[in-house]
Structures are given as C-alpha cells and as structure tokens.
Amino acid sequence: MRLQQYHYQVIYVPGPKNLAADALSRHPLPSVNNVSTSLAVDWPKLQQQDSHIQTLMMSMKKAKCPEGLKRTYTVANDLLFHIIPATRNKARNRLLLVIPISMHSAVLQDYYSSIWAGHFGIRKTLQRILQAGFWWPDLHPMVKEFVKSCKICQHTKTSIHYDTQPVLTLGIA
Ligand SMILES: [Zn+2]
C-alpha cells in the first residue's frame, strides 16, 4: 500500500523542470539542451557524423588508450567531452561538449551575432561559449577570426558617425 503510493508520487509529481534538475545534479554534464533553442540539436547524432570525433572515441575505447588522450577527453552518455582539469578555485573537473565541425559556425553565430548575443569582443564571446559547456580544438583562433571578420561590426565602426546625426535629427523633428 505504502509502496504503491510512493510509486505514484515518483511518476506523477515531478514536472519536466524537476526531472531536468535532478538529471543534471546526478550527472556532471553541461546543460547542453537549455542554452538556446537554435542549439537544441541531436548532439550524439552530430558527433557520430564527425569523423575526427569518431576517431577520438574509438581510440578511447582501446585498452592502450594514450594517457594524454585520457587526460584530455572523456566519454559520457555516448558523448565526447573535453576535460578542463580542476584548479584551486574549482574543486571539480569541468566537462565541455566537443562540438562537431558541422556545428562550429552555428555556435559562433549563436554566441556572437544572434539577436541576443550582441557582437561582443573575442574574449567575451569565447567565455560565453565555454560557459555554455561547448568546446572544440581550434575554438580560440576560430572565435578570433569570426569576430575580426564580422562585416556588420566593420560597417558599423566606419559609418557610425555619419549614421547617428541624421537619425537623431529626424527623431526630434
Ligand atoms: Zn559583429
């Protein structure tokens, strides 16, 4: 009787939010699915389609997996993660999802030039991507290149003085 009641509660009481929080507290994985709607993609599938990620994952399954690889990467829930080792400030290792090549530009756009991202600088953009739990081997140089080559920013920087004045005048009139 008591057991039945308990069973009922476990199944019906927790809402989706509670389940997510519970899952996250049990698994030290980044919250890859609540970052933004445009990036709520099938990460396991996309990683499977990435040959570099697949090669890494296969090497990790081998008995003679190189120590360097084991220190850098780990597999959890069929996903490849990059390990950020614990420091004096952070007591635990952090795991960052290794982003497949097919998603690099989508991530850059989302954290730099999407409507909410706001074209911040190289350091801030990089920080945001890492905080979201994303990583790939040449992330840093790619962010640098992406931010530097932004056409919108280049245009704004050269034309801002000409654009501002007429707009203000029109607003007052
Ligand atoms: Zn820009």
Kindly report, residue by residue over 10-60, the tens digit of the pLDDT: 333 333 443 443 333 333 344 444 444 457 789 999 999 999 999 999 999
Where residue 55 sits, what CATH number does that domain have? 1.10.340.70
- In a domain, residue 129? The reply is yes
Cα(123) to centroid of ligand 1, in Å? 13
Q: What is the pLDDT of residue 142?
A: 97
Domains held by the chain: number = 1
- In a domain, residue 1? The reply is no
Domain that holds residue 153: 31-172
- CA–CA dist 114, 129 (Å, integer): 13
- In a domain, residue 12? The reply is no
- In a domain, residue 101? The reply is yes
Cα(122) to centroid of ligand 1, in Å? 10
Helix (H, G, I), strand (E, B) or coil at 81: strand
Cα(154) to centroid of ligand 1, in Å? 7
User: Residue 50 in contact with residue 136, Cβ under 8 Å?
Assistant: no
- In a domain, residue 8? The reply is no
User: Residue 95 in contact with residue 30, Cβ under 8 Å?
Assistant: yes
- Point out the residues of the chain with pLDDT beneath 70: 1-38, 157-173
